[in-house]
């Protein structure tokens, strides 16, 4: 499908999630959306939607990072090895993909392995298949479950489980002026930073409000820069304190959670201990782009799965993580 920018991706995500909330009759239905930091336009769109909608989080693990100056486009058949910087720490912790030869690993690498990809190829003449393999989906699924528990329940995630939470230990994060991208700071570029709405469609943006950006399609489609600036939620998970003594890993209820709570987002300290409705968990793959068609909000799924998980099943899965 044709490439879309962050504004289109974000607007279509808002339409999709709003339709699902309306269909279920749950205006604050929790959304956990796996980030796509290696495609900054997609990730900016995800972050835009999460900020505008509230009760939504976009996150992932930062195991590698694309050089923002690169012209290579990562895909399941191209990892852009020359421009994709690998952080060895999470790989040493969770295990290197079983197909990665030792010659590509750093000095002192861990012998542990996991099945991250369907097929890794070190041979440039043999294309890889970098869609998630089984163990990758397990690691990511656990992180999604723990993100949901922290953000939308009053429960705590035990420390020994958080130790194996990829998103909490190595979270993807947007770059800032004070902390730009570097080989030791694998952040993603937030393309909405400092943007302004322009053109004939932007004439009504002065009337936009945080509330209208959630509900008025003309506003969130035509005024994305205005709506991003008006958004009252962060769209990012609160940092997890992993320095505890091993009993629990607590969430730092700092600016991120306080802001979302003030905007109407359920915080870990104020929500009920169990979810009364099923959340929306969205897991991404390297090439995902969403297309929503008409009022039916049908999704063209290109390596992307939209999964609605029952709360009871989620709680059962979380209980068996150790």
Structural contact between residues 147 and 35, judged by C-beta atoms closer than 8 angstroms: no
Cβ neighbors of 182 (< 8 A, separation 6 or more) are none
198 alpha-carbon distance from chain centroid = 28
Torsion of CA 276, 278, 279, 282, to 10 degrees: 170
Q: How far is CA 13 from CA 90, 122, 199, 201, 220, in A?
A: 29, 35, 22, 20, 10
- Crossing angle of helices 134-152 and 311-319, in 10° steps, is 110
Q: Where are the domains of the chain?
A: 6-75+131-319
DSSP conformational letter for 279: -
Burial class (CB in 10 A: 0-12, 13-18, 19+), 189: middle
Structural contact between residues 156 and 248, judged by C-beta atoms closer than 8 angstroms: yes
Burial class (CB in 10 A: 0-12, 13-18, 19+), 23: exposed
The per-residue pLDDT string of the chain (322 residues; one tens digit each, 9 = 90 and over) reads 457 899 999 999 999 999 999 999 999 999 999 999 999 999 999 999 999 999 999 999 999 999 988 999 889 998 888 899 999 999 999 999 999 999 999 999 999 999 999 999 988 889 999 999 999 999 999 999 999 999 988 898 998 899 999 999 999 999 999 999 999 999 999 999 999 999 888 889 999 999 999 999 999 999 999 999 999 999 999 889 887 654 555 554 333 443 444 454 443 333 344 565 667 666 665 444 433 333 333 333 333 333 333 333 344 344 444 3
Of residues 130, 127, 98, 124, the one with CA closest to residue 111? 98
Structural contact between residues 58 and 35, judged by C-beta atoms closer than 8 angstroms: yes
Phi/psi of residue 91, nearest 5 degrees: -65, -40
117 alpha-carbon distance from chain centroid = 19
């Amino acid at each position: 499908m044709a490439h879309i920018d962050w504004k289109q991706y974000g607007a279509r995500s808002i339409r999709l999630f709003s339709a699902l909330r309306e269909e279920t009759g749950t205006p604050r239905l929790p959304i956990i959306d796996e980030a796509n930091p290696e495609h900054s336009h997609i990730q900016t769109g995800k972050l835009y939607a999460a900020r505008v909608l509230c009760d939504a989080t976009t996150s992932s693990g930062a195991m590698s990072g694309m050089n923002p100056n690169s012209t290579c486009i990562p895909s399941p058949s191209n990892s852009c090895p020359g421009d994709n910087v690998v952080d060895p720490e999470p790989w040493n912790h969770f295990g290197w993909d079983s197909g990665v030869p030792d010659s590509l690993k750093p000095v002192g690498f861990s012998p542990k392995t996991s099945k991250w990809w369907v097929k890794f190829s070190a041979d440039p003449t043999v294309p890889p298949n970098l869609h998630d393999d089984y163990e990758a989906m397990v690691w990511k699924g656990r992180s999604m479950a723990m993100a949901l528990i922290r953000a939308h329940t009053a429960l705590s995630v035990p420390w020994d489980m958080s130790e194996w939470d990829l998103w909490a230990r190595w979270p993807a994060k947007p770059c800032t002026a004070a902390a730009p991208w570097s080989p030791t700071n694998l952040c993603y570029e937030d393309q909405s930073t400092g943007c302004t709405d322009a053109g004939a469609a932007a004439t009504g943006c002065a009337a936009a409000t945080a509330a209208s950006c959630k509900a008025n399609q003309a506003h969130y489609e035509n005024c994305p820069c205005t709506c991003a600036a008006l958004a009252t939620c962060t769209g990012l998970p609160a940092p997890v304190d992993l320095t505890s003594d091993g009993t629990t890993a607590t969430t730092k209820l700092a600016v991120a959670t306080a802001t979302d709570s003030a905007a109407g987002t359920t915080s870990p300290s104020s929500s009920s201990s169990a979810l009364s409705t099923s959340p929306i968990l969205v897991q991404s793959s390297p090439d995902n782009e969403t297309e929503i068609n008409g009022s039916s909000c049908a999704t063209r799924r290109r390596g992307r799965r939209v999964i609605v998980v029952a709360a009871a099943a989620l709680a059962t899965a979380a209980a068996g993580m150790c």
